[in-house]
Amino acid sequence: MAEFTLHEDPRSGNCYKIKLTAALLGLPLGVQQYDIMKGETRTPEFLAKVNGNGRIPVLQIADGDTARFLPESNAACWYLASGSPLIPQDRFAQADMLRWMFFEQYNHEPNVATLRFWLHFVGEANLSEQQKAQMMAKRIAGCEALKLMDRHLEAHDWFVGEGATLADIALYAYTHVAEEGGFGLADYPAIQRWIARVAGLPGYAPMA
């Protein structure tokens, strides 16, 4: 039986995705915490052993004497959920779930999560001029991502198929705290109903 340890910063929605996946599956998950604001994931030891990309989350998988490290939140969720109902088996549904997970990393996270990090944790007064210059573009792109999600959820309870999948977990992580980045969820009623559905899943665990 493999043992799982999550290298994480509890403020990160990307880390929370993995914890929520493990919670919904009833899998025990150890944690090792880092403070990304203090550069703790850029130390030579972290870069050499855990992730050369200097980022968390990383899922550590211990199997007997072997320890393997898996960066990228959505890949770690995939590993944990392998063979479970959180990954549909149908060929199109499986690809469509990955479609929403790639959308999350490309169109959602760099806007919705980055503005939350800048405004809620760094503080607007501490942003560089270059960061301030990007805020409006990220606000617009983040709203577009939320609008696309809301339109989809007007007609569907879940992103793919008839139940929760990793697509819902991946998109839930930063969406349910989007107001910390200044995105008012009142404009997205279908998203609000979906957030309540995710929070009502058996085994659901809230973000720290």
User: What is the rounded CA–CA span in Å between residue 124 and residue 146?
Assistant: 22
Residue 200 CB, shortest distance to a copy of itself, in Å, is 27
Q: Is residue 103 involved in binding a copy of itself (CB under 8 A)?
A: yes
Q: How far apart are CA 7 and CA 57, in angstroms?
A: 6
Neighbours of 113 (CB within 10 A): 24
Instruction: Give the nearest distance from C-beta 199 to a copy of itself in angstroms.
Output: 25
**Of 145, 88, 80, 148, residue with least CA distance to 115:** 145
For residues 36 and 200, which CB has a smaller minimum distance to a copy of itself in the complex? 36
Residue from 74, 111, 114, 175 touching a copy of itself (CB under 8 A): that is 74
Q: Which residue number, 137 or 199, has a Cβ lying nearer to a copy of itself?
A: 137
- Closest among 184, 36, 166, 30 to 105, alpha carbons compared: 166
Q: Which is nearer to a copy of itself, 41 or 134 (CB)?
A: 134
Cα dist from 164 to 24, 67, 160, 197, whole Å: 10, 30, 8, 9
* Cα 94 to Cα 96: distance, rounded to the nearest angstrom: 5
Part of the chain binding a copy of itself (CB under 8 A), chosen from 3-11, 21-29, 72-80, 186-194:
72-80
Q: 100, 170 in Cβ contact below 8 A?
A: yes
Under the binding rule (CB under 8 A), the answer on residue 94 touching a copy of itself is yes
Binding mask 1-20 for a copy of itself (x = CB under 8 A): --------------------
Residues that bind a copy of itself in the complex, under the rule CB under 8 A: 52-53, 61, 68, 70-76, 78-79, 82, 91-92, 94-96, 98-99, 101-103, 105-107, 109-110, 130, 133-134, 137, 148, 151-152
